[in-house]
Amino acid sequence: MKQNWKKIHLKDACKVFTDGNWIESKDQSTEGIRLVQTGNIGFGYFKDKEDKSRFISEDTFHRLKCTEILPGDILVSRLPDPVGKSCIIPEINSKMITGVDCTIIRPKDFLASEFLCYYQMSNQYLKDVQLGVSGATRERISRKNLGLIEIPLPPLPEQQRIVSILDEAFAAIAVAKTNAEQNLKNAKELFDSYLQGFFEKKGKGWEEKTLKQISKDFGRGKSKHRPRNFEGLYGGNYPFIQTGDIRNCNHYITEYTQTYNELGLSQSKLWPSGTICITIAANIAETGVLTFDACFPDSVIGLDVNEKLADRDFVEYLLQSFKVKIQSLSNGAAQQNINMGTFENELFPFPKVDKQKQIVQKLDALSAETKRLEAIYQQKILDLEELKKSVLQKAFNGEL
């Protein structure tokens, strides 16, 4: 930090430093004065969420003696994630208040709101916040501890110069990040589009078959236990796969978080390694291939491919290509699900087995290239986030 910079407790740099109001559900209304909540506070930016807005009436405002927040005020969330994140309140053409888990900051004339908001994104500030955090079940920082955090205080013209530099740097980083995110999205969509088109261009000799026709075993898993959810079924030597294990597996299921004992196995079924698992509840039509023997619940279909009739990896790619269509057939408002009959009755295109293997080789190569590109763009996004932290550190060390 430069020699002419001072340090000051946050509370001493503010004209207003107070918590929002305790607003219960019974105090809220469908219109009136906007209630800004912790969910509206992004990490350095305001999340409008207008469609989810809550309000109180003018009468309630006066009855509860609420504190109005104004455009230009800084709102700090005393809850995660992360604790202490803040944003500047924009003009939203509405009178506003906030809840008790937010602290309202209106800086004194010698502190620029933008400078403070940037500082509240820095590693040093977040470390200082963590030192003041309490709460066994949910972390939070008290307003008292928040107010005792020291912030750097360069002369106002220096603050404004730093803000100008950070504005320019963050704008450039935001553009680069948007481009990287779009490239990542394009890479994923390119493979999905190629995959879908591959199976739409059916060649000569392709036959329509059901999944049962190309399988040695085809059916739902078993988890109708008695008594239901009995803890005595778990903790043994038999992997128990769940829908989340399939959704996150990236083609091959190599991990599991739950196991059955002998009693659990007796009420279920052990499927062999190589079985294709298909989810039919929650995130439906996700697929993965078992790399070990395992049980799974009735929210998953097992498909043990007859390799004389079909190539297992071809079938898994085929199911991925039909995912969008299958998901459109789902029902259930609260949780997506699809019945076994959809998969029993659906016809899928199959060429000869040797042709299937050739297709798999091409798709494997494209998948590998897609993953390589995804890794590049994901790393680019991470690097840009690190760049932001580095720029902030230099700014508040007086190095800009």
Residue spans of the domains in the chain: they are 6-154, 156-203+351-400, 207-350
Is 1 in contact with 396 (CB distance < 8 Å)? Answer: yes
Higher pLDDT, 333 or 396: 396
* Rounded Cα gap, residues 134 and 80, in angstroms: 12
The residue assigned the tokens 């109708």 is 224
Neighbours of 189 (CB within 10 A): 11
Least confident window among 140-144, 334-338, 378-382: 334-338
What confidence score (pLDDT) does residue 332 get?
45
What confidence score (pLDDT) does residue 224 get?
64
pLDDT at residue 202 tops 80? no
pLDDT confidence band for 358 (50 / 70 / 90) = very high
Q: Which of 338, 303, 334 is nearest to 324 (CA)?
A: 338
Is 291 in contact with 273 (CB distance < 8 Å)? Answer: yes
pLDDT at residue 91 tops 50? yes
Token duo for residue 379:
């790393």
What confidence score (pLDDT) does residue 333 get?
43
What confidence score (pLDDT) does residue 325 get?
67
Q: Which residues contact 380 (CB under 8 A, 6 or more apart)?
A: 176, 180
Tell me how far CA of residue 242 lies from CA of 234, 286, 303, 316, in angstroms: 13, 12, 15, 18
pLDDT at residue 340 tops 90? no
Q: Specify the CATH architecture of the domain 6-154.
A: Alpha-Beta Complex (3.90)
Q: Specify the CATH architecture of the domain 207-350.
A: Alpha-Beta Complex (3.90)
pLDDT digits (tens, 9 = 90+) for 240-290: 998 899 988 888 999 998 999 998 898 889 999 999 999 988 778 899 999
Higher pLDDT, 275 or 332: 275
Q: Is the pTM of this model over 0.85?
A: no
* Domain 6-154 identical in fold to domain 207-350: yes
pLDDT digits (tens, 9 = 90+) for 138-158: 889 999 999 999 999 999 999
